[in-house]
Structure 1
Amino acid sequence: MEAKLQALLDEADIRRVHIRYCRGIDRMDWDLVRSCYHPDAIDRHGAYNGGVEGFIEWAAELLPQFESTQHFTGNQYVEVQGDVGFAEHYAQARHRTRPDGERPAMDWVVFIRYVDRMERRHGEWRIADRMVVLDSQRSDPVPDGQAPLENSNVGRRGKEDPSNGYRIV
């Protein structure tokens, strides 16, 4: 029974790393993103392939170009053996571009899988090696004049996001 409980705890910890990563990316909280990786981790994101610090620099330059991003995670498959884990997270990464001259704002959605080798070091699960697999993508123009719903708490990038007022840690 104790081994099964430990397996469940390990799987939950690994899933939490992924959710923390998504939040960090969408809020552009680079310290939170960094906390998901071991310092010597490799990230194969397609357009970027290399170490974690280079990935964060790349993302910090790329993501502010979007009006917003939202990573939505679906299925999460996790295997654990000792201090090594495999995780495959199915996700939709939504990106809202800004209008540019005659080009309208666009909603660009990529359907991806994060394929991770996870390692527990010093009692903490983090990404050791990540590959982002692109399954498909689409891009749709945002209708003219589409404004947030009246009285909405509009999401913001960074520390100004309304969710930060509810954080307890």
Structure 2
Amino acid sequence: MPKIIDDVVAESEIKDVHLRYCRANDRRDEELMRSCFHPGAVIELHKELGVDEFCELGRQILGQYTVTWHNTGNQLVEVKGDAAWAEHYTISSHRIAADDKGPERDWIAHGRYIDRFEKRGGEWKIARRKMVVDYTRLDNVTPGDPAVPGGSGGGSRDRNDPSYAMRLG
């Protein structure tokens, strides 16, 4: 069955929500993170969490890393009226500072976000999300790697990141 223009627009809007979610993680932007979810949304990890609990967990977990970086690959979206199912493949990298467990290293997770989106008040947002980690790996960082924060004049994990200054409006 051919997609109608409304479904194509919905698919684009849904993919945008997921990309904003990834950005919110990497920039540790809780306001942006919350904007991706409807009130009362459920996020399934090892247990079911509400948006407030999920954001609190994010502050704890993301605070452990010096850098995080999400890359989205395949995105499949199926729209039925004001509801949609989506599956987003993501590879996320997490830089761990050197500590008593070892040298600086990268924890890389290959996973999927499986979502139920709903359009409420004209906006597509996540109503339910299940995060699935398919596999991970841990790599030691080569000494002198330019991705080390401060080593390349790169980004930052907050609203001081250059991407915020370049935004329109």
Q: What is the TM-score normalised by the length of structure 2?
A: 0.92
Counterpart amino acid of 1:35?
S
Counterpart amino acid of 1:18?
H
CA deviation after TM superposition for structure 1 residue 148, in Å: 4.3
Counterpart amino acid of 1:76?
Q
The farther-off stretch of 60-69 and 78-87 is: 60-69
Q: What is the TM-score normalised by the length of structure 1?
A: 0.92
Which structure 1 residue ranges, 4+ long, deviate > 6 Å from structure 2? Answer: none
Residue 160 of structure 1 aligns with which residue?
A: 160
Give the match's secondary structure for 1:22. helix
Asked if residue 120 in structure 1 is aligned to residue 83 in structure 2, the reply is no
1:35-114 map, 5 Å: 35-46=35-46, 49-101=48-100, 103-114=102-113
Residue 16 of structure 2 aligns with which residue?
A: 16
On the 8 A contact 2:77/2:85 being kept in 1, the answer is yes
On the 8 A contact 1:153/1:162 being kept in 2, the answer is no
Structure 2 stretches of 5 or more lacking a match?
none
Q: How well do the aligned residues superpose, as a CA RMSD in angstroms? A: 1.8
Residue 138 of structure 1 aligns with which residue?
A: 137
Q: Using the alignment, how far apart are the partners of 1:146 and 1:94 within structure 2?
A: 15
Higher helix share: 1
CA deviation after TM superposition for structure 1 residue 132, in Å: 0.7
Give the match's secondary structure for 1:119. strand
Offset from partner CA, 1:88-133 (integer Å, 9 cap, x none): 0000011000111461011100000000000001110000000011
On the 8 A contact 2:88/2:113 being kept in 1, the answer is yes
Q: Using the alignment, how far apart are the partners of 1:105 and 1:148 within structure 2?
A: 11
Decide whether aligned partners of structure 1 residues 146 and 126 sit closer, same or farther in structure 2, where only a CA change above 3 A counts. same
Structure 1 stretches of 5 or more lacking a match?
none
